[in-house]
């Protein structure tokens, strides 16, 4: 069997859903399982509706109701369940407006409507074209998670519960259409796997059911060498490893959910990232290993990062200093990204989402602490074995732009070299590096796959 996942933009309206059915048809002999996101920007619209109910007491599901009702009309299908889901959503928003409270648990219940509406519409349309499709909510397909609302983790039992639920349907010739992104915890509350989580739903099904491959259908031609909003001539890459894909996802490229590669890494299930708007484009293949490492795969950046510099002479020859320091980060629930140390100092970065004052107060007892906000992590994904050469050139590019580099980390990962610049300069740096390493003079991806070494 195979898994085909369709993201929000691939399901933006009735016309896009027709395309989806067209993409599924030729794959029917391979026994596809479909995984769907919410239609278009429905997840954002649901969250906006909740904020409005919470802050102004106004309950409005108009935009969401209209999109789904119009789509049903356009596709000439009839699904009574859609009306009851919309009614339930309305009641929930009224609840939020009355209680004036929006917990993670309520948020997850709320956004789940996006995927639940989409799965029903896709399944009903597929049926109307003769495909034996059946809509399933994630929990009906064996998705059980912990209770970490808004960022839940699937529990280990899902490796068995997913195939237990799906195999009988697949064997009966049915095409299951599952809601991505959502699950239920052991107490039966709806959870979500974090934004973009339907990628993870798809790879988890594929890994647990030992699928031949996963196809992740998006609105770009695959994984690109940079964020096309920053670098308009970013090019799709032909193939990447799971590790490279995970780094690209985590550090800004946002093509895939950061944890999406984990299940397929375990089972070595190949993943394809394809463009539903341009299905004949080859897309990007994600696999365990590639024959030849290319020096540079892509350039990404992660903005709104805070840098914390910790300086203490107590570090000198003092066992346990770093343990003490990092236990303070753990105590305040601060997740650290990059770390660099010298004999007397440690610099760490984190997303600018934490209140760092309590940490500063605590750590100031053992060291001088300086918090620097407004930073960005620029990451070069490439062959770390060649990092001296690559970083030498990268710093040359930064120097040429007159942009100081503030902290460097490389070698900890096999594929990632990162450094810090000021947030306001990150776009210029990414553009400059992309031009230098992957610029238009480099003839496109097929060139890469031959293992050639552009610019270096």
- In this structure, what token pair is assigned to residue 152? 């839940």
Q: Footprint of ligand ASP on residues 86-125 (CB under 6 A)?
A: 114
125-to-43, 110, 274, 315 alpha-carbon distances in Å: 21, 24, 22, 64
412, 387 Cβ separation under 8 angstroms: no
**What is the rounded distance in angstroms from the CA atom of residue 49 to the CA atom of residue 62?**
10
* Residue 8: CB minimum distance to Mg ion, A: 3
Q: Smaller CB distance to ligand ASP: residue 231 or 255? A: 255
- Binding range to ligand ASP, per CB under 6 A, among 26-34, 36-44, 165-173, 183-191: 36-44
Q: Smaller CB distance to Mg ion: residue 8 or 141? A: 8
Nearest residue to 30 (alpha-carbon basis) of 158, 173, 179, 166: 173
Q: Which does 14 bind (CB under 5 to 8 A by kind): Mg ion, ligand ASP, none?
A: none
Query: Residue 52: what are its φ and ψ, rounded to 5°?
Result: -65, -45
429, 301 Cβ separation under 8 angstroms: yes
Q: Which does 176 bind (CB under 5 to 8 A by kind): Mg ion, ligand ASP, none?
A: none
286-to-214, 256, 267, 381 alpha-carbon distances in Å: 10, 11, 13, 15
Q: Smaller CB distance to Mg ion: residue 199 or 221? A: 199
Nearest residue to 215 (alpha-carbon basis) of 227, 202, 224: 202
Q: Smaller CB distance to ligand ASP: residue 260 or 348? A: 260
Site string for ligand ASP, 199-228 (x = CB under 6 A): x-----------------------------
Query: Residue 73: what are its φ and ψ, rounded to 5°?
Result: -65, -50
96, 50 Cβ separation under 8 angstroms: yes
* Residue 193: CB minimum distance to ligand ASP, A: 8
Among 40, 142, 176, 197, binds ligand ASP (CB under 6 A): 197
Among 109, 143, 181, 217, binds ligand ASP (CB under 6 A): 181
**What is the rounded distance in angstroms from the CA atom of residue 333 to the CA atom of residue 435?**
38
Q: Smaller CB distance to ligand ASP: residue 153 or 428? A: 153
**By three-state DSSP, how is residue 77 classified?**
coil
Query: Residue 421: what are its φ and ψ, rounded to 5°?
Result: -135, 175
Does 298 contact ligand ASP by CB under 6 A?
Answer: no
* Residue 180: CB minimum distance to ligand ASP, A: 5
* Residue 81: CB minimum distance to ligand ASP, A: 19
Among 2, 7, 260, 298, binds ligand ASP (CB under 6 A): 7
* Residues contributing to the site for Mg ion (CB under 5 A): 8, 37, 43
Positions touching ligand ASP (CB under 6 A) are 7-8, 37-38, 43, 114, 180-181, 195-199
């Amino acid at each position: 069997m195979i898994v085909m996942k369709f993201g929000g933009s691939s399901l933006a309206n009735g016309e896009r859903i027709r395309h989806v059915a067209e993409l599924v048809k030729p794959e029917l002999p391979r026994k596809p399982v479909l995984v769907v996101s919410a239609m278009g920007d429905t997840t954002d619209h649901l969250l906006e509706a909740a904020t409005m109910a919470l802050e102004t007491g106004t309950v409005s599901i108009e935009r969401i109701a209209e999109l789904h009702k119009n789509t049903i009309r356009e596709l000439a299908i009839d699904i009574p369940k859609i009306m009851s889901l919309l009614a339930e959503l309305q009641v929930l928003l009224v609840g939020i407006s009355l209680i004036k409270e929006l917990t993670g648990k309520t948020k997850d219940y709320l956004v789940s409507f996006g995927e639940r509406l989409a799965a029903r519409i896709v399944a009903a349309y597929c049926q109307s074209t003769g495909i034996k499709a059946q809509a399933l909510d994630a929990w009906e397909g064996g998705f059980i998670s912990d209770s970490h609302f808004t960022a839940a983790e699937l529990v280990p039992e899902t490796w068995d519960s997913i195939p237990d639920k799906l195999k009988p349907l697949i064997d009966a010739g049915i095409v299951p259409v599952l809601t991505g992104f959502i699950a239920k915890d052991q107490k039966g509350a709806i959870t979500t796997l974090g934004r973009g989580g339907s990628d993870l739903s798809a790879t988890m099904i594929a890994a647990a059911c030992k699928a031949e491959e996963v196809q992740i259908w998006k609105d770009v031609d695959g994984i690109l060498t940079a964020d096309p909003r920053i670098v308009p001539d970013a090019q799709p890459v032909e193939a990447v490893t799971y590790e490279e894909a995970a780094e690209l996802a985590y550090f800004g490229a946002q093509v895939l959910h950061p944890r999406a590669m984990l299940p397929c890494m375990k089972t070595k299930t190949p993943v394809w990232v394809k463009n539903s708007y341009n299905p004949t484009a080859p897309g990007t293949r994600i696999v365990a290993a590639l024959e030849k490492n290319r020096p540079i795969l892509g350039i990404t950046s992660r903005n709104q990062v805070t840098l914390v510099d910790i300086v203490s002479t107590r570090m000198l020859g003092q066992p346990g200093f770093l343990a003490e320091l990092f236990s303070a980060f753990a105590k305040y629930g601060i997740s650290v990204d990059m770390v660099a140390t010298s004999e007397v100092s440690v610099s760490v970065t984190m997303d600018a989402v934490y209140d760092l004052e309590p940490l500063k107060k605590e750590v100031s007892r053992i060291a001088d602490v300086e918090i620097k906000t407004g930073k960005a992590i620029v990451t070069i994904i490439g062959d770390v074995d060649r990092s001296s050469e690559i970083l030498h050139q990268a710093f040359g590019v930064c120097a040429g732009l007159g942009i100081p580099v503030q902290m460097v980390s490389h070698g900890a990962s096999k594929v990632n070299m990162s450094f810090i610049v000021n947030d306001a300069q990150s776009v210029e740096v990414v553009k400059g590096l992309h031009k230098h390493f992957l610029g238009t003079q480099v003839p496109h991806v097929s060139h890469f796959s031959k293992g050639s070494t552009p610019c270096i």
